[in-house]
């Protein structure tokens, strides 16, 4: 039974190959959980960080290399001809290169994490706080690209001829990659020009406002007052108006909104509404009143299609009081304006003329 042939190989050869592969998978798991665990415990007792870094860098790649070794040994028990041998050789070569790239990426990431990132926590080097995440991703991409080029060359392809021979496909790829490159250079321009830093409060294109959370290779993440994260492509930020609203009140948050009054509202009532809103805002304990750039404002700023628009803005002392304070202020504004007989405008007013 074990001598039964399947595609030119005895059944027992398939069983042996499977057992070898399963055995090496088990050895890899055992190594990761037992040996690496012991080494990690010993490394924690030493004063240097080098051994900790090496263990973190080599942990998973070594397990993968054990699997590669097992795959190579298991495949040697099966024979499908020269084409099979070449295919197996290429597969092993691909896995080895992937393992090396994995080690290099882990090494660069760990070195930056343990030696360069601590420098960014110094106040005098705040710029590094936004450069380092960008640099970490960029270096990883460079290592991966170089590794792929090396792998293509190892597989026997002429990289130069391959790129030159892409023709229309290469043009299509270049067009597809254009947005990525635009965003990449946009991120580089943000870091070079320094219109803002991580932690600054900004307003982008008069639409998006919040705190800069991360400047990445493709986009910038902004944490909004509504506890959401807006992801804006770097190309948009680099080509539009950006207001840096940061001030000495680093934990403050800016609230800006519009209030629509009916067109039937007399001028005296408009002025009364402005004064009522100012008084309500200034009387709240969480509103910033001691920084000139953050003082509250209320203004009749424009005529809309169906309303008189009031533009209102104020700053809060802390992000944590945002939702509660806005609720209290908005409720007080509604209550006081209703008492004063000042009417809010509907979304649309339609007038019908008789005859």
CB within 8 Å of 263: residues ≥ 6 apart: 306, 307, 308, 345, 349
Q: 183-246 has which CATH code? A: 2.30.30.60
pLDDT of residue 246 exceeding 80, the answer is no
Q: How many CA atoms lie within 13 A of 148 on its CB side?
A: 6
pLDDT in tens, 204-240: 877 787 888 887 777 888 887 667 888 888 888 877 8
Q: Could you identify the residue written with the tokens 């050869």?
A: 13
Q: Percentage helix, strand, coil, to 5, in the chain? A: 60, 15, 25
Task: Tell me the pLDDT band of 171, cut-offs 50, 70 and 90.
Answer: very low
Please list, in sequence order, all residues whose beta carbon lies within 8 angstroms of the beta carbon of residue 354, skipping any fewer than 6 positions away: none
- CATH 3.30.70.100 residue ranges of the chain are 253-339
Split at pLDDT 50, 70, 90, the class of 170 is low
In terms of phi and psi (left: phi > 0; alpha: psi -120 to 50; beta: otherwise), the region of 113 is alpha
User: What stretch(es) of the chain map to CATH 2.30.30.60?
Assistant: 183-246
The more confident residue out of 345 and 133 is 345
CATH number (3.60.130.10, 3.30.70.100, 3.50.50.60, 1.10.3370.10) of 253-339 reads 3.30.70.100
Q: Is 88 exposed, middle or buried (0-12, 13-18, 19+ CB in 10 A)?
A: middle
């Amino acid at each position: 039974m074990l001598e039964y042939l399947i595609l030119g190989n005895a059944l027992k050869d398939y069983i042996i190959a499977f057992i070898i592969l399963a055995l090496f998978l088990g050895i890899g798991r055992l190594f990761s959980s037992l040996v690496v665990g012991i080494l990690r415990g010993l490394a924690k007792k030493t004063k240097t960080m080098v051994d900790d870094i090496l263990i973190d860098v080599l942990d998973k790649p070594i397990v993968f290399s054990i699997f590669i070794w097992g795959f190579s040994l298991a495949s040697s028990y099966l024979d499908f001809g020269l084409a099979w041998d070449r295919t197996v050789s290429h597969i092993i070569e691909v896995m080895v290169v992937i393992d090396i790239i994995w080690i290099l990426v882990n090494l660069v990431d760990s070195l930056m994490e343990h030696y360069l990132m601590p420098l960014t926590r110094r106040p005098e080097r705040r710029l590094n706080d936004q450069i380092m995440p960008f640099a970490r991703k960029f270096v990883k991409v460079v290592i991966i690209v170089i590794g792929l080029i090396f792998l293509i060359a190892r597989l026997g392809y002429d990289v130069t001829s391959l790129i030159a021979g892409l023709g229309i496909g290469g043009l299509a790829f270049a067009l597809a990659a254009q947005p990525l490159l635009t965003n990449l250079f946009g991120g580089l321009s943000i870091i070079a020009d320094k219109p803002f830093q991580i932690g600054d409060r900004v307003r982008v294109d008069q639409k998006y406002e919040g705190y800069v959370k991360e400047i990445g290779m493709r986009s910038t993440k902004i944490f909004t007052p509504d506890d959401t994260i807006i992801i804006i492509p770097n190309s948009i930020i680099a080509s539009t108006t950006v207001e840096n609203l940061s001030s000495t009140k680093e934990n403050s948050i800016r609230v800006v909104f519009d209030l629509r009054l009916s067109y039937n509202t007399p001028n005296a009532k408009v002025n009364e509404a402005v004064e009522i809103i100012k008084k309500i805002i200034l009387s709240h304990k969480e509103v910033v009143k001691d920084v000139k750039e953050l003082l509250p404002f209320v203004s009749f700023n424009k005529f809309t299609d169906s309303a008189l628009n009031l533009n209102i803005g104020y700053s809060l002392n802390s992000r944590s009081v945002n939702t509660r304070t806005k609720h209290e202020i908005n409720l007080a504004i509604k209550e006081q304006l209703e008492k004063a007989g000042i009417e809010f405008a509907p979304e649309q007013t339609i007038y019908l003329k008789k005859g």
